Structure 1
């Protein structure tokens, strides 16, 4: 199928993009890479009247870091972040999770902000952001606000972003000392959407684990340092609480087993790294 008719606008200044969003038109959609939005338009699941392409706003294409946070501009390509020389040092979890995002061709087009704004429950970047307790900066003509990941991702492809706002930056906290990180994923083929993805940050005293691809958004749980049967029981309870459903890709039972098995594997790897 083909999309319905729409107007296409490609500003080069952030101020112009915000003006369009503030125009009062109900059906403006922001596009950067277009890897998710365009297929949805082709199937007419979305029918925007205006397509606002922000990929040429250079002020939104950057990576900068200090001793606390990695800040990534919204239109920064995923491939640029993955190739960033400081990534594995400042964010081992992102370095381990990002190779699972699609393929190198799609990562060269897909953007960091686009993935976060789309809020697919299987998205690796959204899962890492949730486990790291990162945040998202939103801008409109009314002002700027920063929203924690836990508050930004509110449901299946639903976020706290308002109609006149756009994601301008994503903030990933840098790796903490004496903390180990691990990422595990199961998909039909490498690069496909995750049937189940698990991200873990662990210290000697605490485990923080997130699961993507099972519930309607990345879901995070924290425990004290567990092992043996206590860890198995905690993972089993988490797997049931996620409420996974049968679909064409996997059964709920299979997903629960992946939460248990991938979760244990990732936790053991992360705990080993923090010793």
Structure 2
């Protein structure tokens, strides 16, 4: 039983929380914006637990879809499904149970949020297969990893205003930035197996493109949240976020596997800084 539990935790990347933190911070920030301040403990709990559950379900789906590719990539060859330690049906069952639990949380909100959750699920299911056909599959991931934003507005306001879609667009640029860093780690392996990624598509323009994606993210969010009116604490948080972007440049500029992977893993701190800036702007 202990071995089985350990295998399940490995399947959902429990020891690597950076993945669900990347999803969580923009969703919580959107809750604050939609509510004009503290959104209440119920919605915070729903979106926090739902984020963890859906990211874990996504890992199950992704591992099954990529099992024949992952065995050719150093970083992913020992994943439970790829290594044969877990069957595809079992992995999909685990993912389905997690998704149903997440949907149970959504049912405690309102009709608009429930309706949008089906769109979020569709994007989540489609992403693993985008890597076979789309030259920039990170853009599809960007939509999937940003869908907590319109759902947050739906949960608070019962509708999804234009502001929510603007914030989703801005967040998509952030996902493009950090997932291109992630793709740079596996670029050599992905070229051998014919996988499509933004790191391959961008080629030698990968580093300047990533810097541009980061800049677009911070600019769009700052503009939409009316940064000039938000006060000193908001600006300090944005300055900390911009400082992290500069630090990431120092990590990825030589395109080393170690530097790119470190930059990716630390991105959740950038998202946290933006979240703190949003929260402090409503003090």
Which bin holds the TM-score, normalised by the shorter protein?
A: under 0.3
Which has the larger share of strand?
1
Which has the larger share of helix?
2
TM-score normalized with structure 2 length = 0.27
TM-score normalized with structure 1 length = 0.28
